[in-house]
A = this chain, B = another copy of it.
Amino acid sequence: MTLDELETPAPVVDLARMERNLDRMAAYSTAHGLALRPHIKTHKTPWLAAEQLRRGAVGVTCATPREAEVMSEVADDILIAYPMVGSVKARRVVALPTAVRLTVALDSARAADDLADAAHEAGRRIGVLVECDMGMRRVGVQSAEDAVTLVRHVWGRRELEYVGIAFYPGHVREPLDRQDEALSALGERLGRTLDALKRARLDPRVVSGGSTPTAVRTHEIPGVTEMRPGTYIYNDRTTAAIGACTFDDCALTVLATVVSTAVPGQAVIDAGTKSLGREPMRGAEGEGFGVIYGRDDVVVRAMSEEHGLLDLSRSDWRPAVGDRVRVIPNHVCIVVHLFDTVHGFRGNAVETSWAVAARGRAAQVDVLG
């Protein structure tokens, strides 16, 4: 089958680019002695996690119970970088296969207690990373003292094993060469936390950080032992715009068909918010919700659920109904979550297709049983 024969809209992955992205991040982490624990929220697919593990990843990072369940097919070391609050969720994750070394990141005594109670019932120990806010202001304990307090709380629950601390530098989205100030502030704040833990004789074994935008500068942050980038497997328009990859590294695009050219100045494709998401550019300039592959001057200016409106005002290209395009999406993680199937191609040949097996929320038994 060729790309021309696929029904649109469809996410398609340039396999050579994807492999290059995987190889490059594996080489970086190896070169700097950093543990690589990719976040699989970007691809949600076991065989891609296996490709990451085969290249040396120490385990995977997940955000949801379903992601952890599906990844347990291929990974024996899983970090859920999300607090499992409430007995329903906590019980679900402690029921993962016992062969899986499971760690959970959390920032509250309540989340620790829910996890410990469930672990107690299941007769199992679960690792814990204490989540620390390093400037993003989303989650994470706010001070070095709060970190020590929560680590002591975790230490007090015998079902939990204190493994270390985690942070997510999601606020650092400047272009790579302008991250100095933000990374320096982050390093100082992290240093204070590490000092306080050391004074309390609670040195972390693991200090887990790292995102795709900051990935290749992770080794410059003193104390970090592990990185958790996700987007790098596919990359997207935002990642390219901030310089954390080039446009030639964008492996996933959304194949779409021009379905209307009736309104002057625009063309309408069959990829709207239900295919692309409504994600703005963040940390870099750029209008619209995606850019046409090979036509930098044409962006998806507006969308309805199944319509994407291409702005032709800066281009002399005049597509016809039936023409096909590929959209480089602003935020690839959202696109993957919107589809059930992704296609992999080389040249014009569709070489393979795979299920986005970890999307959704269902317990695997609900799907299989």
Contacts and interface: CB of A to CB of B under 8 A. Distances in A.
Interface of A: 5-10, 41, 63-65, 82-83, 85-86, 88-89, 92, 107-108, 110-111, 114, 131, 133, 137-142, 146, 170, 257-264, 268, 270, 273-274, 277-280, 304-307, 309, 320-322, 333-334, 337-341, 360-362
A169 to B, nearest CB: 13
Nearest to A334: B273
17 contacts: A8-B86, A83-B321, A85-B258, A107-B260, A111-B259, A131-B262, A137-B263, A139-B260, A139-B268, A142-B264, A170-B304, A274-B337, A277-B277, A278-B279, A339-B360, A340-B360, A341-B361
Q: Chain A's interface: helix, strand, loop or mixed, by majority? A: loop
B140 A41 contact: no
A314 to B, nearest CB: 18
The winner among A63, A260, A274 for most chain B CB atoms within 10 A is A260
Contacts of A338: 337-338
Nearest to A309: B138
Nearest to A110: B321
Contacts of A320: 110
Given A260-B83, A263-B133, A277-B273, A64 B322 contact: no
B92 A322 contact: no
Task: List the 9 closest A-B pairs by CB distance, nearest first.
Answer: A110-B321, A139-B260, A7-B88, A340-B360, A108-B321, A107-B262, A85-B259, A63-B306, A278-B278
A322 B110 contact: yes
A5 B87 CA distance: 9
A7 B142 contact: no
B268 A138 contact: yes
Contacts of A138: 260, 263, 268, 304, 307, 309
A341 to B, nearest CB: 7
B85 A257 contact: yes
Contacts of A7: 65, 86, 88-89, 92, 361
Contacts of A360: 339-340
A85 B270 CA distance: 9
B321 A85 contact: yes
A322 B114 contact: yes
A31 B138 CA distance: 51
Contacts of A361: 7, 9-10, 339-341
Nearest to A142: B262
A260 B108 contact: yes
Contact of A278 (B262, B268, B277): B277
Contacts of A280: 278
A120 to B, nearest CB: 17
Given A274-B334, A277-B278, A262 B322 contact: no
Given A108-B261, A262-B142, A82 B309 contact: no
Given A8-B86, A86-B322, 10 more contacts: A7-B88, A8-B89, A82-B270, A82-B306, A83-B321, A85-B322, A137-B263, A274-B337, A305-B337, A341-B362
A274 B258 CA distance: 27
A323 to B, nearest CB: 9
A298 to B, nearest CB: 17
A348 to B, nearest CB: 16
Contacts of A257: 85-86, 89
